[in-house]
Amino acid sequence: MKVAVIGPGNIGTDLMFKILRSPYLEMGMMVGIVESEGLKRAQSMGIKTSTRGIDAVLEDDDIKIVFDATTAKAHIKHAPLLKEAGKIAIDLTPAAVGPYVIPVVNLEKLYDEPNLNMVTCGGQATVPIVYAIAQVAGAKYAEIVSAISSKSAGPGTRQNIDEFTITTAQALCELGGAKRGKAIIILNPAEPPLIMTNTIYVEVDEPDEEKIKGAVFDMIRRVQEYVPGYRLRVPPILDGNKVTTIIEVEGAGDFLPKYAGNFDIITAAAVAVAERIAARMLKGGVEREGEKVHSYSRHHIA
Amino acid sequence: MREKKFIHIVDTTLRDGSHAVAHQFTEEHIKTIAKGLDDAGVEYIEVSHGDGLGGSSYNYGFSALTDEEMLKAAGEVIKRGKLTVLLLPGIGTHRELELAADCGAKAVRVATHVTEADIGEQHIRMAKEMGMEAFGFLMMVHMVPPEKVAEQALLFESYGADCVYVADSAGAMLPSDVKACIEAVVKRVKLPVGFHAHNNLGLAIANSLAALEAGATFLDATCRGLGAGAGNAQTEVLVGVLDKAGYETGINFYKIMDVAEELVEPIMQRPQVIRNASLMLGYAGVYSSFLLHTYRAAEKFGLDPRDILVELGRRKMVGGQEDMIIDVAYQLSQRKALKEGVSLGEAG
């Protein structure tokens, strides 16, 4: 299935590398609005590029899925145009025009949506764990702390850090199933850069250790299908009704360095969403219950 | 006689002191202490969860009161001084800042790790738009050279801050370090410069004096030194010392001593002394607020708190990373168990 990426920056380029490895997706076009390093790189790799931005994408009827790695402001303009052209938008900006999606949590309910928002890196890393715990033990409250290396926090994140905390907290409740949520983000400048770590605290209704551990371990395996570097650092520790779990995310090192697991998890999740949509469209029907779409990462870690 | 140089004092007993009481200040504590500070002539009275607005959490400890309850209690009794709040971007957001302004906060200190001033730009600008006094507050300055501190201070200046603070959050600096750091900042920025001390190496007052000698004009302090780690520069001591050194603070010496002895001391949960673990904070350069969390983790995992702190220092953890205390304690306990030949049987 032919796809396009709008926005040839770090995220867009990392997406491109992942798309090129995907057995389901074909990298149709990379577009920007000015000449840039990112466009040159795509071109040198034999990919069609354009500086006419979204217009170039809209003109190509074969492109069915479009990744938007620009800005919230730009995506608000792009969203209606893509919808009108019958293209599915996967939005990696904070615009949140469409519903939030976490592949392992709610993608199945969203196959007919024309526009899907990828939440935040912290949301992709922590909501699956909150969801897993909430399913077996209930979640009165969920709180997460995402620590990322300073080098991996771009100007967009820095100028609007509140966006991260507010959006992530919202996703802990809406998707994770917690009644209340709180998110904290920490930037750490240590050298060599630290791998992204995420601490997830959940106040549960039923502190059943075996069930909670089982659910968390199972969820980690499911996320690893599209983010191979998603790993447990500290297994669920129970303290009364409080459950503490610590996860680290090492990037695949496609374009961005391995410590930038925060970038990797959001681009990998976006590609996983596109692959699952593509697989379903190619089959022309509903995916059978329990059948998993093998994502690119499986082929590569095998 | 030459006019005495005026030094602005920010009393943060009701903010940094919050760490020392595990964030359990009650409405009555806040009302009586804020009123006492106000009557004594304190110019800035900081009231917040120890980790700032929105700090109440599993990670930092839940506070007995909400931000709104704390600020309203203080706002009711402060007549002369300025109700001040702390905000750490990444923990609190513009939502809590708006709430604080609604509750009567007149000044905000936007605190970031010393290399990350740019995450506070939106909050400094917003505070100014709301008519608040805005301080840029750089934490853990001991981790970088003075030139880097100055560069980040300049960023805060460019965002429109009214003052920039240098915070020795780990209480790890010697007077000579403080002097070099403040001098570098004073040389580069036009704004007034402040210093926030911790007493982990027993140098809070000495370092505060060194900061003034290097050109700082704002100082932080807490009554009885109540604060994270071994606490802060002790307000009543600082007022006496500054008077002897020929500075003016506008604070009544007897009255501030009375606030410390009659209002603050009775609610202290333990004496504010330099115990071994707080000494290690200063020695290893670890964020002072980690102290009580480290004691708890050490007990839970059967470890020496000093081992946890040294490892946190080695990993270069920054302010706000209290969750990594559990991470470190868990890894150390696993290693210990391996050595002792016991398997904890954990997966992953």
Put simply, the answer to whether B324 touches A147 (Cβ < 8 Å) is yes
Q: Rounded distance, CA B110 to CA B120, Å?
A: 6
Tell me, what's the pLDDT at A285?
Answer: 53
Q: Do A186 and B119 touch (CB under 8 A)?
A: no
Token code pair at residue B231: 């606490």
Q: Do A150 and B115 touch (CB under 8 A)?
A: yes
Please give the backbone phi and psi of residue A90, each rounded to the nearest 5 degrees, phi first. -110, 110
What would the pLDDT profile of A55-93 be if each residue is shown by its tens digit?
999 999 999 999 999 999 999 999 999 999 999 999 999
Q: Please tell me the distance from the alpha carbon of residue A146 to that of residue B321, in angstroms, as a whole number.
A: 9
Reply yes or no on whether the pLDDT at A298 is more than 90.
no
- Whether the CB-CB separation of B59 and B95 falls below 8 Å is answered with no
Which residues in chain A have Cβ-Cβ distances shorter than 8 Å to B324?
147, 197, 199
Residue A297 has pLDDT above 50, yes or no: no
Which pLDDT tens digit goes with each residue over B68-112? 999 999 999 999 999 999 999 999 999 999 999 999 999 999 999
pLDDT of residue B78: 98
Of A143, A162, A246, the CB nearest to B326: A246
Nearest to B93 among A166, A197, A231 (CB): A166
Q: Say which residue, A290 or B51, is predicted with more confidence.
A: B51
Chain A CB within 8 Å of residue B295 CB: no
Residue type, A10: N
Give yes or no for residue B339 having a pLDDT over 90. no
Per CB-CB distance under 8 Å, the chain A contacts of B289 are none
* pLDDT higher than threshold 70 for residue B33: yes
Q: Catalytic amino acids of A?
A: 121
Query: d(Cα B266, Cα B257) in Å, to the nearest integer?
Result: 13
Calculate the average pLDDT of chain B: 96
pLDDT digits (tens, 9 = 90+) for B211-264: 999 999 999 999 999 999 999 999 999 999 999 999 999 999 999 999 999 999
Exposed, middle or buried: residue B253 (CB in 10 Å: 0-12, 13-18, 19+)?
middle
Please report the number of interchain residue pairs, chain A to chain B, with beta-carbon separation below 8 angstroms: 104
What burial class does residue B258 get, using C-beta atoms within 10 Å of its C-beta: 0-12 exposed, 13-18 middle, 19+ buried? middle
A83 vs B: CB within 8 A: no
Which tokens hold the place of B23? Answer: 């964030």
Sign of CA dihedral B36, B37, B41, B43: negative
* Cα–Cα distance, B53 to B60 (Å, whole number): 12
CB B117 within 8 A of CB B154: no
On whether any CB of chain B is under 8 Å from the CB of A154, the answer is no
Q: Tell me the average pLDDT across B139-152.
A: 98
Distance CA A237, CA B70 (A): 32
Provide the pairing of β-strand A180-188 with A65-68: unpaired
CA angle, residues A156, B51, A138, in degrees to nearest 5: 80
Nearest Cβ partner of B115 from A165, A189, A199?
A: A189
Nearest CA in chain B to A147: B321
Instruction: Inform me whether the pLDDT recorded for A286 exceeds 90.
Output: no
What residues in A contact B90, CB-CB < 8 Å? 161, 164-165, 184-187
What residue of A is the nearest CA neighbor of B328? Answer: A234
Q: With CA atoms as reference, report the closest residue to A273 among A88, A131, A123.
A: A88
Nearest Cβ partner for B122 among A159, A197, A203: A159
How many Cβ atoms sit within 10 Å of the Cβ of residue B157? 20
pLDDT at residue A29, as a whole number: 97
Q: State yes or no: ipTM above 0.90.
A: yes
Q: How far is A290 from A225, CA to CA, in rounded Å? A: 15
- Say if B158 is an interface residue toward chain A (CB within 8 Å): no
Helices B27-40 and B67-77 cross at an angle (nearest 10°) of 40
Q: What is the four-CA torsion angle of B9, B14, B20, B24, rounded to 10 degrees?
A: 180
Quick: pLDDT tens for A145-190: 999 999 999 888 898 899 999 999 999 999 999 999 999 999 999 9
Chain A: nearest CA to B42, how far in angstroms? 32
- Residue B348's pLDDT is what? 41
Please answer yes or no on whether B57 and A165 come within 8 Å at the CB atom.
no
The alpha carbon of residue A231 is apart from the nearest alpha carbon of chain B, in Å, by 8
pLDDT tens-digit map of A186-238:
999 999 999 999 999 999 999 999 999 999 999 999 999 999 999 999 999 99
Predicted confidence band at B308 (pLDDT cuts at 50, 70, 90)? Answer: very high
Nearest to A186 among B58, B316, B320 (CB): B320
- Could you tell me if A269 and A226 are in contact, meaning their C-beta atoms sit under 8 angstroms apart? yes
H/E element, A4? strand A2-6
Count of residues making up chain A: 302
CA B217 to chain centre: 17
Q: How far apart are CA B319 and CA B142, in angstroms?
A: 12
φ, ψ at A166 (rounded to 5°)? -70, -50
Reported in sequence order, the residue ranges of A104-191 that DSSP labels E, i.e. its strands, are 115-117, 141-149, 180-188
Say yes or no: B147 contacts chain A, CB-CB below 8 A.
Answer: no
